[in-house]
Structure 1
Amino acid sequence: MELATNPRAVNLRQFKKQVIERKRTLKRFLTKLENERPRGIDKITPVIEQEVWSEVDCLTCANCCKKMSPTFTKQDLIRISAHLNMTVDAFKEKWLFFDKKDKDWMNVKQPCQFLDLKTNMCSIYEVRPADCAGFPHLSKKKAVDYMHVHKQNIEYCPATFKMVEKLKATLSLVQISRVR
């Protein structure tokens, strides 16, 4: 997809540049949110999330599938291996490794083996891991409990980056209006 024809297209070069410029500031902001837990944040995040999705087309990016690995739950392993007509053990042996530190099953390689690099689409979308289905976890019920996740994701996910920037701007405006 060309940028000119899709206003929601992600410019990955520009995104990388923004990350380099603002990553530290945004991570400090997220740490502050974790510590201060502002009231009303759970009402703000779904509104901002809607704005973000009107501005970002994931299929023009797919960084999550190219640079990250989901964790595979037991249910994911059963569902996906059945879909692929494999045993769970054969699926694990072919595609995954066990991360002893985090005790998670993860992809052996990047980009994800199920990503079609021409279309940026998932070949197992209907049965994809729960971690993928929930990604990038922008507006969860207890938003502050996901700030540590956003700290990791702002480097890879333009939607998360945009969400955090908008959240920072919104909360700054709320604080300014309270002072007046």
Structure 2
Amino acid sequence: MQELHDEEFSNTDCLECVNWCKIIDSLFSDKDVEGILKFLKINPRQFEEQYLRTDKDGDLILQQTPCTFLGADNYCAIYEVRAKACREYPHTDRKKFQQISNLTLKNIAICPAAYNIVEKMKSKISL
């Protein structure tokens, strides 16, 4: 999977799509929030009130989609400190890739690169 991931992303410009940022509710860990707070130089209460909400599973997610930090140019205003879920998307380079097959099925409907990786994986398996 790592080889397929690296090959795909050597030819993929995520700025052309940014579907992840436009339609997915990204999860924010406490560690993610800490980094963003330092970067934005705001206090935790202000950040949570302005940007976050708790979903039905008890996870912190953004209050709105598309992502508040996504600019009109498709660049992320907090790219250097973006959430781990954002940094790792579409998760096609995970060591235990098979453990996230349900997530991968969702991601191939959103991310053209994830779709391409899975299609290449399928063709390699059927050889």
Calculate the TM-score normalised by the size of structure 2. 0.94
Residue of 12, 15, 28 corresponding to 1:59: 15
Matching residue's letter, 2:126: S
Q: Which runs of 4+ in 1 moved over 4 A?
A: none
Alignment of 1:51-130 (within 5 A): 51-100=7-56, 102-117=57-72, 119-130=73-84
Equivalent in the alignment of 2:123? 169
> 1:78 deviation in Å?
1.4
CA distance in 2, matches of 1:167, 1:70: 26
SS at match of 1:116: coil
> What code does the residue aligned with 1:112 have?
C
Q: Post-superposition shift, 1:89?
A: 1.7
1:147 matched to which residue of 2?
101
Instruction: Give the partner amino acid of 2:62.
Output: N
Residue 108 of structure 1: CA displacement? 1.1
TM-superposed CA distance for 1:86, in Å, is: 1.2
- Structure 1 segments unaligned to the other structure (5+ residues): 1-44, 174-180
Match status 1:132 vs 2:76: no
What do residues 118-143 of structure 1 show as CA deviations (whole Å, max 9, x unaligned)?
Answer: x2110101111111111111121111
Q: Tell me the number of residue pairs that the alignment of Structure 1 and Structure 2 aligns.
A: 127
Larger RCO: 1 or 2 (CA < 8 Å, sep 6+): 2
1:70–1:106 Cα contact (<8 Å) kept: yes
Cα distance in 2, alignment partners of residues 107 and 90 from structure 1? 14
For 2:63, the aligned partner's letter is V
1:93-113: CA deviations, max 9, x gaps? 10111013x221111111101
Q: Which structure shows the bigger proportion of residues in helix conformation? A: 1
- In 1, Cα distance between the equivalents of 2:14 and 2:71? 13
Structure-2 separation of matches of 1:164 and 1:73: 28
Unaligned runs of 5+ in 2: none
User: How far did residue 91 of structure 1 move?
Assistant: 0.6
Partners of 2:118 and 2:5 lie apart in 1 by: 10
Distance of 1:143 and 1:94 partners within structure 2: 35
* Secondary structure of 1:97 counterpart: strand
Which residue of 29, 42, 46 maps to 2:2?
46
